[in-house]
Amino acid sequence: MEMKEDSNTNKGVALFEQQEIRKEWHNERWYFAVVDIVAALTQSDNPQVYWRVFKKRLLDEGSNETVTKCNALKMITKDGKKRLTDAADLETVFRIIQSIPSPKAEPLKIWLAHIAIERINEIQDPELAVNRAKEIYERKGYPKSWIDKRLRGINVRNTLTDEWKERGVKAGNEFAILTDEIYKGAFEMTAKEYKEFKSVDRENNLRDHMGDMELILTMLGEATTTELTKTRDSKGLPKLSADAADGGAVAGRTRKDIEKQTGKKVANKRNFRGEEGPSLDEPKLLPQKPLDVSPKAHHYDN
């Protein structure tokens, strides 16, 4: 069994016998792209059409519940864009598997159950997710010293976003707004601008392309923001935005002092290139999904 993992949103792709199965953590459970399940079972040249016809047959036979339990979730398509696709939780996927005759049904059931159990175990013991993330980063060629900083940064990030949630911030766009305030204070760029500066694709995680000093300053900005928010007992987006701006500014002043002392810019265009590790030039970024390094899927981590 081979798996690809991603990070921060718990969105990803798993491999079943070289067949990609898209998955997304939603409402505290895994949802799998139904058309990918169909493709793995049937080896159809056009699994979308197969699923469309099969779905109609289920409705005609009165299996409305199975069809209605398939939620439309946005998942990455082959063109790199997010599009709505039918997705089902483990129970519903099992029902679909039982309805499609295939010699691969039983191995696929076992594979899906393994993924679900692994995820549940990681929620109960987050250290398992951290260890798995460490192994994935190591396989991708990141140095141990960088991995340690990255994982520490995830903990700092989660502490901050937990604080935001408790103080009335909604995950998603509001997390992005606050994160941008920190980035602007620390690096004078929003997350989007920083990605463009480093030639990082939209679907990749910016922090997976930061160097040591960039990661450290990001942690400083977020840790300071957390402390300011607690000290000021801030609530609501406007006040938390002010905290984020002030926290980012602390990191920004530190960055400027480092640059003055070293004569080098901290923010640079270097990014992570495939399996070759942190590059010292300005390479073209190879396609690379973010890694799923934390059980807190809702935490915006760019």
Pull the structure tokens for residue 2: 């081979």
Residues 145 and 69 in one domain: no
Asked whether 141 and 132 are in contact (CB, 8 A), the reply is: no
Question: How far is residue 198's CA from residue 268's CA, in Å, rounded to a whole number?
Answer: 7
Q: How many CA atoms lie within 13 A of 282 on its CB side?
A: 7
Residue 169 in domain: yes
What Å distances lie between residue 241 and 32, 38, 169, 224, CA to CA? 36, 45, 10, 13
For the four alpha carbons of 218, 270, 284 and 4, in that order, the dihedral sign comes to negative
Question: Which residue bears the tokens 């502490």?
Answer: 159
> Taking residues 204-223, what's their average pLDDT?
93
Q: Clarify whether residues 93 and 158 are in a common domain.
A: no
Same domain, 120 and 144: no
Nearest to 301 by CA among 188, 211, 215, 185: 215
Asked, for residue 46, whether it belongs to a domain, the answer is yes
The token pair that represents 208 in the structure block: 């997976």
Higher per-residue confidence, 15 vs 109? 109
With respect to residue 78, please indicate whether it lies within any of the assigned structural domains. Answer: yes
Of 88, 105, 124, which marks where a domain is finished?
124
Same domain, 185 and 168: yes
101 and 140 inside one domain? no
Residues 136-179 have pLDDT tens digits of 788 778 888 999 999 999 889 989 999 999 998 987 789 999 99
DSSP string, 205-223: -GGGG--HHHHHHHHHHHH
**Domain housing 150:** 126-262
Residue-level pLDDT at 18:
66
Same-domain pairing of 113 and 135: no
Average pLDDT over residues 231-253: 97
> Which pair of tokens denotes residue 246?
């002030």
Which is it for the CA torsion 5, 155, 9, 250, positive or negative? negative
Q: Please tell me whether residues 110 and 150 are part of one structural domain.
A: no
Separation of alpha carbons 214 and 266, rounded Å: 6
The answer as to whether 225 is a domain residue is: yes
Name which residue leads in pLDDT, 235 or 82: 235
Q: Does residue 165 fall inside a structural domain?
A: yes
**Residue 86 one-letter amino acid:** D
Beta bridge partners of 72: 86
- Same-domain pairing of 80 and 180: no
H-helix or E-strand spanning residue 57: helix 47-60
Q: Are residues 135 and 76 in the same domain?
A: no
Domain membership of residue 21 (yes or no) is yes
Residue 280 reports pLDDT greater than 50: no
Instruction: Judge whether 119 lies within some domain.
Output: yes
Domains identified in the chain, total number: 2
Same domain as 47, residue 102: yes
Measure CA 205 to chain center.
Answer: 7
- The pTM (predicted TM-score) of the whole model is 0.58
Tokens 């798993």 locate to 14
Q: What does the pLDDT average to over 240-264?
A: 97
Show the tokens assigned to 9: 């949103």
281 part of a folded domain: no
Same domain, 111 and 22: yes
Q: Are residues 20 and 61 in the same domain?
A: yes
Looking at residue 298, its pLDDT comes to 38
